[in-house]
Structure 1
Amino acid sequence: MIEAVLTRLRAGERLHQQIVDGRRQWWFDEPFEDVPDAVVVRIRATGEFALKEAGDSLFGLPENSQTWGGVDVSDRIPCINPRCRRTAAQDKFPDSHEIICGKCFRALPAAFRAEHRRCWREINKLERRILRTADPLKAQRMRDICNEWVDRLNVGWAEIRQSIEQPDKPAGLETFLEEIGL
């Protein structure tokens, strides 16, 4: 049974899950095939196949996605916040391997957000000016300045990632109680 499941997973088929009466039920669609929970547990435990969640969990809980598949199952890019379950479409950001969702971005300190937006505003302004200029020397100077802004943006992105991955205050009960004034 394990080999049959692995063959279908390697062929790119997605494995579906639902929880009924506190137990996980697994199956493939078209053609329908019921998969015992023990088989999926063994595949995940042995590492024979990198079975990953597609990120369509009803309540955003880990290990509760309704769709599972191989390493390339997700055509989504996850938010850099490890406590966030939001994703973005890979085809919308083809050169990206990480994003920050709008909610997590708005939760950042205002200084981070302002610097990030300023960098993008300057980069976009310079790219428009480069396209309009006819002087190659002037265009090269603007490209150099644009590259400096890109470097500054990358440094800011690293600071954002670090502040999210290692916050000053841990997200927990004490922080929550402090926020509500108790």
Structure 2
Amino acid sequence: MAIFSESKSAWTIKRKYEWLYFQKVDGLNVVGNEQGLIDGQGSSWWLKSAMRFSSCNNLYVSGLQYINSQKNHVSVNGCDEVNITKLHMIVPQESPNTDGIDISHSTNIHIHDCTMATDDCIAMNRGTSDVIITQVTCGPGHGISIGSLGKDVQTDEVQGIHVSNSILNGTDNGMRIKTWQGGSGFARNISFTDNSNSN
């Protein structure tokens, strides 16, 4: 089994908010054999992101396992045409804000055939549109979330989110839309269909 791990002392101030960072890489494929392991040694961090993709179009991420992430396991920001599949994520129940996949300012996202026992399994934030989520097993944790939207009186827009044929195991909220009082914008064209809940 291949294990990717790096000590906390090896980090620099320049990359203090993520562990593995990919920016402006089109057609990027990040593929594991479903036996490789990314150990984020998260208990000493829990304020950072493990793997961040920024402005990467035609992105494909598959076959990776994550344990003990520092914060978000996978962050997708400013990306278009993203396919994420066959990821397996596990964190201790007491870990704070360790979302599985966190998406913002991105479009045309397909997430399928993943297993996530994380805080929010998938969180879709401002500027996110056209997301299809299928055959995901989520929980325990908070579930699948849209938002938070409108924090600090901001205008946030999320649309075209479709979650289907997924399983929620012991989640606090199942599937939800989170908003802040005083914010503006919209969350529209959203569907949750043919999902099961084992709470």
Same fold (TM over 0.5): no
Could you tell me the TM-score, scaled by structure 1's length?
0.28
Larger radius of gyration: 1
More helix, by proportion: 1
More strand, by proportion: 2
Could you tell me the TM-score, scaled by structure 2's length?
0.27
